[in-house]
Structure 1
């Protein structure tokens, strides 16, 4: 989560594989920018007529390969990737004027191009691609939060309560990532040659730590001469 904070302050990165107008309208209304990948069959207005974007890419590659400029892009976690990109503001049905970036990752343009779209007309290809590189981490964080730290299990109606639950889920995700691991590996996963602790091991470590703190607290209360009823009242007030 901490790695995404700088990105999230300036924009919203659309993690859908296909751009959805209802979502982009909400993002734009919040004065945020978005980046999304679009399908190759999407039509754009090019040279006076509507054409498929993959057809435009083929035409550019055949007639003007020099229009794909070589760039070194610093992506998330400081990684640098080389791309050859064409960028231009174009018009799309229902969306209006948006910036299109056609990206190849081989110098001879032999790979399948990636088509990125953004409402930030002033962004260059490097910034669009760098922003898009956050897609999978954001999506993994979203799935992780829903499945493991309680984001999806919320049954709240008020906006403030939803916000608090979201913040607590983010905190739980950060704690789970940073926790040390003491759980044993599953017998079924002995074949895996990976020293990284699993999520299950981390959950086990946190659960064990919590139970230990409870046991220590109860032990202190009993040493103080309190009865079972008094201890229960401390743990679970009636």
Structure 2
């Protein structure tokens, strides 16, 4: 995939960002040979060389929080949306087995460092913590899109096996996602969700609106059938075929 992306040349200046499940020796040299930098999340059990010893990165993070909390500096990162978010980060160039010298960034989102840290790794030894976090943050909308498609529009619900059928299901999931994003939430004020900032329409609210509209059409259809003198059994059979 890296070779294909670089051959197409659509993102000549963009670095790569991925999670720890993708981080591997075959991938890293391939990216670096293209003259690109990368940022990866690092699992908490990874061993790094620290003061002459090989230690787990999560143990080092805990030690820093307890003994040297001042080593975590506040970093303001501007996201693609224009929003600026504060992080508290510790960064240092360290050595990993098989990967050599890389820059490690330990990231907290709470000023008191009470949250679980995220560990980021990059080959760009000259990057400051803010830039590493910003590159990683640019990846987050992709995660949200995948989660949205899985939970809201049935991307993973397909049970087909043929390639063309899978492509069709993927395309239809994309259409459903677009329609859902455009759906107005027509609920009353009492149906607004308290956690939706600035009265924004949530996905759950849109799904509620679609469900209510569909149920309303069912009821109207049933009323029309009963008005025509059809029996309960006939109406039920008609509704089940819709």
User: Which bin holds the TM-score, normalised by the shorter protein?
Assistant: 0.5 to 0.7
Q: Once the 2 structures are TM-superposed, how far is the Cα of residue 50 of structure 1 from its aligned partner?
A: 0.4
Q: What is the alpha-carbon distance in structure 2 between the residues aligned to residue 156 and residue 29 of structure 1?
A: 34
1:48 positional shift? 1.9
Residue by residue, what CA displacement relative to the aligned partner does 1:76-121 show, whole Å, maximum 9, x if unpaired? 52221223322223233465544310124466x6535613223443
Distance 1:83 1:76 in 2: 16
Alpha carbons 1:100, 1:116 under 8 Å: kept: yes
Question: CA distance change for structure 1 residues 127 and 150 in 2, over 3 Å: closer, same or farther?
Answer: same
Q: Distance in 2 between matches of 1:134 and 1:206?
A: 36
TM-score with structure 1 setting the length: 0.57
* Partners of 2:138 and 2:213 in 1: CA distance: 28
| TM-score for the superposition, normalised by structure 2 | 0.56
Shift of 1:145: 0.9
Q: Which residue of 82, 87, 94 maps to 1:78?
A: 82
SS of the residue 2:114 aligns to: coil
Q: Which runs of 5+ in 1 are unaligned?
A: 1-5, 212-238
Measured at CA, do residues 190 and 61 of structure 1 come closer, stay the same or move farther in structure 2, by a change above 3 Å? closer
| Corresponding position: 1:53 with 2:60 | no
- Say if 2:120 is the partner of 1:121: no
Greater RCO, 1 or 2 (C-alpha within 8 Å, sep 6+): 1
Instruction: Work out whether residues 24 and 34 of structure 1, in 8 Å CA contact, stay in contact via their aligned partners in 2.
Output: no
Task: Specify the SS of the correspondent of 2:81.
Answer: helix
Could you tell me how far apart the structure 1 residues matched to 2:110 and 2:157 are? 44
CA 1:191–1:73: 2 relative to 1, 3 Å: closer
- How many Å apart are 1:132 and its aligned residue? 3.7
Q: What's the C-alpha RMSD, in Å, of the aligned pairs? A: 4.4
1:101–1:190 distance in 2 versus 1, CA, 3 Å: same
Structure 1 partner of 2:206: 199
